[in-house]
Amino acid sequence: MPFARIDMIRGDSAEFRQTVGDVVYQAMHEILGAPKDDRFQVIAEHAPEDFIFDPEFLGIVSLRRGPRLGAIRLRRRCPGRVCASSRAAARAGGMQSGH
Residue 97 belongs to some domain of the structure = no
Residue 31 belongs to some domain of the structure = yes
Could you tell me the mean pLDDT of each successive run of 10 residues in the chain, 99 residues long?
88 93 91 86 91 73 69 73 55 47
**Number of folded domains in the chain?**
1
Residue 99 belongs to some domain of the structure = no
Residue 55 belongs to some domain of the structure = yes
∠ CA 50-56-70, rounded to 5°: 45
Residue 47 belongs to some domain of the structure = yes
One-letter identity of residue 72:
I
Domain of residue 44: give its range.
Answer: 3-92
How many CB atoms lie under 10 A from the CB of residue 3?
16
Residue 22 belongs to some domain of the structure = yes
The pLDDT assigned to 95 comes to 45
d(CA 57, CA 35): 34
d(CA 13, CA 29): 24
The pLDDT assigned to 81 comes to 45
The pLDDT assigned to 16 comes to 92
CATH number at residue 24: 3.30.429.10
